[in-house]
């Protein structure tokens, strides 16, 4: 397949020859692979590279098979770049992602479908300093974080904060505002935003978008990078 430029495989079988055979594809630019964990566990055997972009979409992962998440993705995103821009999407249920085991040094875009705790999100950002784009569909808070509602933008402006060492320019966050108050969600999200000097685009649900715009406008003199952020309505939380 010497002239093939784009390869899109949906529901890729775990033993499909096209993924793991040593075909010559010198013109391959973009690869998108969607499949289950049995297929994902063999990602380390992929015999080709994409000259522009690679997108990996792993179907639902639960606590009984989450080991395969690290086995498959670490092979792809920790050793050598498979493409100049790499994307990972996955859906997880019933377990916390262990970012100490996730060696995703060469990952550029990450979409997580499933709950992620506020503190785990902070750990993720710290562990993936090269990440460019992050999409969180269900941010949740522990009882401790709910009790620590005093992490506010106003306090940060008076006391100062430590900036996060991150490359994220695009951030999308969704949260169940039927469970958590708008004030809580806004406070926690903005506490991230003021610490991310690289951020350019922020997508939030409609309940949070306008208050976030107001806060950014109010505090951009304290944190000049806020003036460079475009805020828009993004994902809607899916129950």
pLDDT by residue (tens digit) across 114-152? 888 888 888 888 888 889 999 999 999 887 777 665 555
Q: What is the DSSP letter of 94?
A: S
Sheet containing 230-233, strands listed edge to edge, beginning at the edge strand earlier in sequence: 6-9, 30-35, 53-62, 85-93, 109-117, 133-140, 170-175, 201-204, 230-233
In degrees and rounded to multiples of 5, residue 76 shows phi and psi of -85, -35
Which tokens sit at 118?
């506020």
Mean pLDDT for 154-169 is 76
CB 46 within 8 A of CB 82: yes
Mean pLDDT for 79-104 is 81
Q: Residue 35: what pLDDT? A: 78
Which of the two residues, 39 and 188, has the higher pLDDT score?
188
Q: What is the DSSP letter of 29?
A: -
Most confident of 65-74, 75-84, 185-194: 185-194
Mean pLDDT for 22-44 is 77
Say what angle helices 182-193 and 206-219 make with each other, to 10 degrees. Answer: 50
CA-CA-CA-CA torsion sign (128, 129, 134, 137): positive
Which tokens sit at 80?
């050598």
Grade residue 210 by pLDDT with cuts at 50, 70 and 90: very high
> What mean pLDDT, rounded, does the chain reach?
82
Which of the two residues, 135 and 65, has the higher pLDDT score?
135
Mean pLDDT for 187-203 is 92
Q: Residue 67: what pLDDT? A: 77
Give the C-alpha separation, 36 to 32, whole Å: 14
In degrees and rounded to multiples of 5, residue 213 shows phi and psi of -60, -45
Q: Residue 238: what pLDDT? A: 44
Among residues 199, 178, 197, 177, the alpha carbon closest in space to that of 187 is found at 177
| Contacts of 110 by beta carbon, 8 Å cutoff, 6+ apart | 87, 88, 89, 104, 124, 128, 131, 133, 134, 135
Mean pLDDT for 66-78 is 79
Least confident of 85-99, 120-134, 193-207: 85-99
**Residue spans of alpha helices (H) in 28-181:** 37-40, 67-77, 118-127, 143-147, 153-159
In degrees and rounded to multiples of 5, residue 116 shows phi and psi of -135, 130
Q: Residue 171: what pLDDT? A: 95
Give the C-alpha separation, 159 to 155, whole Å: 6
Q: Residue 142: what pLDDT? A: 81
Which of the two residues, 53 and 61, has the higher pLDDT score?
53
CB 90 within 8 A of CB 69: yes
Residue 156 pLDDT > 50: yes
Q: Residue 31: what pLDDT? A: 87
Q: Percent of the chain beyond pLDDT 90?
A: 26
Among residues 111, 117, 82, 80, the alpha carbon closest in space to that of 98 is found at 117
pLDDT per residue over 1-27, tens digit each? 678 898 888 876 666 666 666 667 778
The whole-model pTM stands at 0.86
- Distance between alpha carbon 29 and the CA centroid of its chain, in Å? 23
Grade residue 110 by pLDDT with cuts at 50, 70 and 90: very high
User: For residue 121, what are the CA distances in angstroms to 31, 38, 138, 233?
Assistant: 28, 27, 11, 21
């Amino acid at each position: 397949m010497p002239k093939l430029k784009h390869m899109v495989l949906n529901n890729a079988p775990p033993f499909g020859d096209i993924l793991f055979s040593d075909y010559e594809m010198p013109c391959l630019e973009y690869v998108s692979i969607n499949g289950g964990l049995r297929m994902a566990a063999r990602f380390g055997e992929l015999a080709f590279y994409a000259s522009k972009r690679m997108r990996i979409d792993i179907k639902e992962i639960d606590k009984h098979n989450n080991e395969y998440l690290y086995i498959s993705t670490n092979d792809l995103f920790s050793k050598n770049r498979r493409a100049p821009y790499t994307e990972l999407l996955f859906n997880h249920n019933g377990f916390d992602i262990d970012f100490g085991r996730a060696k995703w040094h060469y990952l550029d875009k990450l979409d997580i479908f499933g709950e992620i705790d506020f503190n785990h999100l902070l750990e993720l950002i710290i562990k993936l300093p090269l990440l460019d784009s992050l999409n969180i569909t269900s941010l949740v808070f522990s009882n401790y974080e709910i009790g620590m509602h005093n992490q506010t933008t106003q306090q940060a402006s008076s006391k100062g904060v430590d900036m996060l060492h991150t490359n994220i320019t695009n951030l999308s966050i969704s949260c169940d505002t039927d469970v958590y108050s708008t004030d809580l969600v806004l406070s926690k999200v903005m506490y991230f935003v003021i610490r991310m000097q690289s951020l350019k685009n922020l997508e939030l649900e409609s309940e949070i978008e306008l208050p976030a715009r107001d806060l950014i406008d109010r505090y951009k003199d304290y944190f000049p990078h806020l003036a460079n952020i475009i805020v828009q309505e993004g994902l809607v939380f899916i129950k």
